[in-house]
Chains A and B, each alone.
Chain A
Amino acid sequence: MASTVARTAIAGVGHSRVHRFDDVTLGELVIDAVTKAVEDAGLGLADIDGVVTDPKQPFDGAGVVDGINRVSPEYLIRALDLDVSWYESPSPGSTTRSIIAGSNAVASGTCGAVVAFRAVHNPKGRYARANPSLAEGTKQFSEPYGVFPPAMFGQLWHRYMHLYGTTREQMVPFVVNNRDNALLWEHGYWSQHRPTRLTATDYLEARLVSSPLGLYDCDIPVQACGAFVITGSDRAKDLRNPPAYIRGWAVPGVHGGWEHLSTLDVVQERTQRFARHLFENAGISVRDVDVVNVYDGFSCFVPIWLEALGFCQTGEAFDFMVPANIGIGGAGPPVNTSGGSLGSGRMHGVPQVMESVLQVTGRSGPRQVAGAEIALCTGAGQPGVGDGIVFSRSQ
């Protein structure tokens, strides 16, 4: 891509209320978030001619009903009677992939204003995406052994610890800083429902889920929706709020290994290749980034992202992940200024993307990084799976 002028921009954002469990349908939350995003852009529903979301949910099972516990583009188009010329459900269920698809639709001239959203439901009880007695494809080599998220990520982190001689205790500065950021994020579970700081003791003494991952290494399942309006850059300049220009993006390739069997070396190589493409496509270098919001559905993704993206050397992320670097006033640049997924809840990239948009448009309030020109975000999806987008203040 390597375009020097961004052709598209995020013109508006909207977020529904966030609950662990909610007594309204997911469809209502989507309509709320989308309506707010369109209003934030200073547009009307009649201006929206494209819709993109992946309705996939992070659980399997019977009783998945469109509008109730999943929301497709078709549902939204009918519910709001939108006159669209394009809609799509890209896989995987990430916020970034929908924005990339929407940006392409606008850049190609297919659409004038696209709504991209990510809506996540949290069913009552516990959930998993696996049925070991019916494992298909390459999952037959993992699910019969009880490998479900986050077990494979526990293996990833143990390998990392072994290679680089790091410990669980070294995650403390990051998770504490991250929760502090999250308490400043108005669309987060923790800020809305349990506004307390996370202490080192809370973190280290919480029960283990899949070692070395403990409870606070995992994002908390919630239900909510985040929505974004994408327009052409020239149109966005004339709208209500300053645009966040979409400078470039990249989707990781599938070099080596399988998703369930991605050993650390495979993950690192995939993510390094992805990072090279992302910087090339955006026409920037790592030194240009003022804010970075990486997908942290599980904490151990953060060091892997930061190393592969070049914010620090391989194996040295825990030396870097201290408040002097990654805090909101830090020189690092600041990392996950909205508290990421660990601080917001399981929203699959919404807090990473939305906060990046708000930062480069100077709308992050108490989290604002002074002079933020360029924000880089990834998510959702772990390193090697998640996409990345670079936003900028200037076209």
Chain B
Amino acid sequence: VAQQCSDCKRFQHPPADRCLECGFQSLQFCEVSGSGSIVSFTITYDARTPAFASRQPYAIVWVELDTQEGLVLVANLSESPVEAIQIGMPVQVYFERLADGVRLPQVRLRP
């Protein structure tokens, strides 16, 4: 899901207490397809915290959802070799289950 303004219908992410486009304060979470494409990425070879050291090199991508131009989320692209990643590749959101019960939105390449 992503947050959508009830008035101007614009989606925004991360969620906020008001629509950053029109200022309307009635917002709801609506289903989105989770399909999008990579607008940029970085491969981190030098993790800054121990939690990510075992995963390096790891890819962080900016994904623009097909739902709306400018609706961008951050995710990892961990199922693909980092050398293969390019801007423009189509991706699909899935949810990764973390040890502490958190479900984290992630992306994988879409065929």
- A residues near B (Cβ < 8 Å) are 126-128, 130-133, 138, 140-142, 144-149, 151-152, 154-156, 158-159, 162, 207-213, 256, 258, 260-261, 263-265
Using Cβ atoms and an 8 Å threshold, which residues of chain B touch A210? 42-46, 60
Find out whether the CB atom of B40 lies under 8 angstroms from the CB atom of A151: no
Give the docked Cα–Cα distance between A265 and B72 (Å).
12
Find out whether the CB atom of B76 lies under 8 angstroms from the CB atom of A145: yes
Find out whether the CB atom of A138 lies under 8 angstroms from the CB atom of B14: yes
Find out whether the CB atom of A141 lies under 8 angstroms from the CB atom of B73: yes
Find out whether the CB atom of A264 lies under 8 angstroms from the CB atom of B40: yes
| Cβ < 8 Å to A, chain B residues 10-63 | 13-14, 20, 39-49, 51-52, 55, 58, 60-62
Find out whether the CB atom of A261 lies under 8 angstroms from the CB atom of B14: yes
Known: A138-B14, A147-B60, A149-B48. 4 other contacts (CB 8 A): A145-B76, A151-B42, A154-B42, A162-B40
Give the docked Cα–Cα distance between A16 and B70 (Å).
45
Using Cβ atoms and an 8 Å threshold, which residues of chain A touch B49? 128, 130-132, 146, 148
User: Considering only CB atoms and an 8 Å cut-off, how many residues of chain B contact the other chain?
Assistant: 32
Give the docked Cα–Cα distance between A170 and B14 (Å).
34
Among A155, A162, A210, A263, the one with the most B-chain Cβ atoms within 10 Å of its Cβ is: A210
Contact of A263 among B40, B45, B46, B100 (CB under 8 A): B40
Find out whether the CB atom of A146 lies under 8 angstroms from the CB atom of B45: no
Contact of B42 among A126, A127, A211 (CB under 8 A): A211
Among A130, A138, A155, A156, the one with the most B-chain Cβ atoms within 10 Å of its Cβ is: A155
Using Cβ atoms and an 8 Å threshold, which residues of chain B touch A208? 43, 45-46
Find out whether the CB atom of B39 lies under 8 angstroms from the CB atom of A151: no
* CB nearest to A209 among chain B residues: B46
* CB nearest to B56 among chain A residues: A146
- Say whether B109 faces chain A, with CB atoms less than 8 Å apart: no
Give the docked Cα–Cα distance between A131 and B20 (Å).
28
Using Cβ atoms and an 8 Å threshold, which residues of chain B touch A149? 48
Using Cβ atoms and an 8 Å threshold, which residues of chain B touch A152? 42
CB distance from A107 to the nearest CB of B (A): 34
Contact of B87 among A140, A141, A144, A162 (CB under 8 A): A162
Give the docked Cα–Cα distance between A154 and B62 (Å).
11
* CB nearest to A155 among chain B residues: B40
Contact of A141 among B42, B44, B74 (CB under 8 A): B74
Contact of A207 among B40, B41, B45, B61 (CB under 8 A): B45
CB distance from A252 to the nearest CB of B (A): 17
**A–B complex contacts, Cβ < 8 Å, 8 sampled:** A132-B51, A141-B14, A154-B43, A210-B46, A211-B44, A213-B42, A263-B72, A265-B70
- Say whether B8 faces chain A, with CB atoms less than 8 Å apart: no
Find out whether the CB atom of A151 lies under 8 angstroms from the CB atom of B104: no
CB distance from B32 to the nearest CB of A (A): 15
| Cβ < 8 Å to A, chain B residues 63-105 | 70, 72-76, 87, 98, 100, 102, 104
Contact of A144 among B42, B47, B104 (CB under 8 A): B104
Find out whether the CB atom of B46 lies under 8 angstroms from the CB atom of A155: no
Find out whether the CB atom of A151 lies under 8 angstroms from the CB atom of B44: yes
* CB nearest to B39 among chain A residues: A159
Find out whether the CB atom of B14 lies under 8 angstroms from the CB atom of A159: no
* CB nearest to A207 among chain B residues: B45
Give the docked Cα–Cα distance between A210 and B14 (Å).
24
Pick the 6 closest A-B CB pairs, nearest first.
A154-B42, A128-B48, A159-B40, A148-B48, A146-B52, A211-B43
Contact of B46 among A133, A142, A144, A207 (CB under 8 A): A207
Give the docked Cα–Cα distance between A169 and B5 (Å).
44
Contacts A159-B40, A263-B40, A263-B62 given; indicate if A258 touches B14 (C-beta within 8 A). yes
